[in-house]
Amino acid sequence: MRRRALILRGVLLFLVRFYRRRLSGRGPLARVRCTFAGMESCAAFAERILIETPSTLQAVRRILRRLSRCRHLSLYRLPSGRLGWGSDYDAVLTASSPLEGARRLENSLAEDGEGGSVRAAVHRAAALVTVAAATVPHQAAAAPLPVVRDSNALQQTFRRRFRGHCLLAAFALTSGTIAWLGDCGALAVVVCLIALLGFVRARSAQAVLRRLEWLEVLASIEGPGASVAPGSSEPHLIANHDPSYTRSG
């Protein structure tokens, strides 16, 4: 059993290193940008965790959670110039206080082995999300922010993905039905699994689109807050509200 775990770890390390050296930033992956670029990217995190974590299964779980955080700890530049945020920051907004919510978020990052630079960047982003500059400790105030993504470009990308996954699901479902009627049961099962995957991916893309739309509506009805200049990843205005102020996520 231990030998299998070591073999799996070796294969995963090889794949991660191959991606970092041969695929990252090249070809169709040239436009892929990690939320934590400039700090510890997801690939760099995966390589370090595979080396440092004794349990291969635990390492894989940490890597999967990091990949999820790469999306849900993103920041967005909305059309209005306001700052939008990924769903993981909602836990900060709905906590008893922004400080408590930020502390819980930072503890969960620390438990997964996140480095100090990433934790400081997320802490600073959480403070900007709550529009409570007083919650930013001195060391986090100078920290870089996670990558701020353009919401317009993201909406276009995820609309294309949504349509593509819907077409894939519909085509696969039709093909699976034909295969089933043609007494090709095994093929029908495989094609139906592809249809299910297409449906799941379409739902995921739809969730991102709804999130961005919700953020735009929220930005239009709320008062001054953190805003991001076009072409910049750095907020240039932070309203100084009471640190105990929270908003429903």
How much is the pLDDT for 244?
31
Based on its alpha-carbon atoms, the radius of gyration of the chain, rounded to whole angstroms, reads 21
How much is the pLDDT for 181?
86
Q: In the chain, where are the structural domains located?
A: 2-149, 151-221
How much is the pLDDT for 229?
55
Read out DSSP for the chain? -HHHHHHHHHHHHHHHHHIIIIITTSGGGTT---TTTTS--HHHHHHHHHHH-S-HHHHHHHHHHHHHHHHHT-EEE-TTSBEEE-GGGHHHHTSSSHHHHHHHHHHHHHHTT--HHHHHHHHHHHHHHTTBGGG--HHHHTSPPPPEEEHHHHHHHHHHHHHHHHHHHHHHHHHHHHHHHTT-HHHHHHHHHHHHHHHHHHHHHHHHHHHHHHHHHHHHHS-S--EE-TT-SSEEE--B--TT-----
Give the global pTM. 0.77
How much is the pLDDT for 217?
83
How much is the pLDDT for 25?
81
How much is the pLDDT for 207?
92
Report the distance separating Cα 114 and Cα 150, nearest Å. Answer: 25
How much is the pLDDT for 143?
65
How much is the pLDDT for 144?
79
CA 131, distance to chain mean position in Å, is 21
How much is the pLDDT for 222?
60
Residue 23 burial (CB < 10 Å; 0-12/13-18/19+)?
middle
**Residue 166 corresponds to which tokens in the numbers above?**
């819907």
How much is the pLDDT for 95?
82
Report the distance separating Cα 71 and Cα 88, nearest Å. Answer: 9
How much is the pLDDT for 111?
92
Averaged pLDDT, groups of 10, the chain, 249 residues long: 81 93 83 88 94 91 94 88 86 83 89 92 86 42 77 92 94 90 85 92 93 85 58 46 31
How much is the pLDDT for 83?
82
How much is the pLDDT for 245?
28
Report the distance separating Cα 166 and Cα 202, nearest Å. Answer: 6
CA 103, distance to chain mean position in Å, is 19
In the beta sheet, which residues pair with residue 77?
83, 150
